[in-house]
């Protein structure tokens, strides 16, 4: 089964000093069942990685390699515009629009959501969306 993946999980795959059993499980499952990501996923992931470069946690060369490896994983880029539903979810759960887009995608496609973000995980539970944290 496919799973919606947010950037907090994917960033763990790129960071040499980050470890998460959840992220590892999602990586294993995502390779088998495929991942679905909202269209802004790549921008958000690049932002997380470049911020960590600035903090000295990640060399620039590793960012490039990580992005290539993650892009090579089986994934579907969902380009549907969640529009007002994203805004409603962001307001209801005090989420960023990026996090609300992941939740909107997971609920619309009725797929589980993988996140390490506690606020997003709580919002997913409140919306009746299966999640991995």
Cα–Cα distance for residue pair 86/8, rounded to 1 Å: 19
Domain that holds residue 39: 3-132
Do 71 and 109 form a contact (C-beta atoms < 8 A)? no
CA–CA distance, 43 with 19 (Å, rounded to integer): 22
CATH code of the domain covering residue 106 = 3.40.50.1010
Q: Considering only 21-25, 33-37, 120-124, which range has the smallest mean pLDDT?
A: 21-25
Residue 49, pLDDT > 80, answer yes
| Domains held by the chain: number | 1
pLDDT digits (tens, 9 = 90+) for 84-124: 999 999 999 999 999 999 999 999 999 999 999 999 999 99
Reduced 3-state DSSP string for the chain: CCEEECHHHHHHHHCCCCCCHHHHHHHHHHHHHCEEEECCHHHHHHHHHHHHHHCCCCCHHHHHHHHHHHHHCCEEEECCCCHHHHHHHHHHHCCCHHHHHHHHHHHHHCCCEECCCHHHHHHHHHCCCCEEC
The structure's pTM equals 0.89
């Amino acid at each position: 089964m496919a799973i919606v993946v947010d950037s907090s999980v994917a960033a763990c795959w790129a960071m040499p000093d980050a470890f998460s059993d959840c992220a590892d499980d999602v990586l294993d499952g995502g390779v088998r069942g495929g991942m679905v990501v909202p269209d802004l996923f790549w921008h958000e992931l690049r932002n997380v990685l470049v911020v960590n470069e600035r903090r000295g946690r990640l060399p620039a060369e590793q960012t490039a390699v990580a992005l290539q490896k993650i892009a090579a994983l089986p994934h579907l880029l969902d380009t549907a515009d969640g529009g007002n539903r994203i805004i409603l979810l962001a307001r209801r759960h005090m989420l960023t629009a990026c996090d609300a887009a992941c939740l909107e995608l997971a609920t619309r496609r009725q797929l589980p959501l993988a996140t390490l973000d506690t606020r997003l995980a709580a919002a997913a539970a409140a919306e009746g969306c299966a999640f991995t944290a």
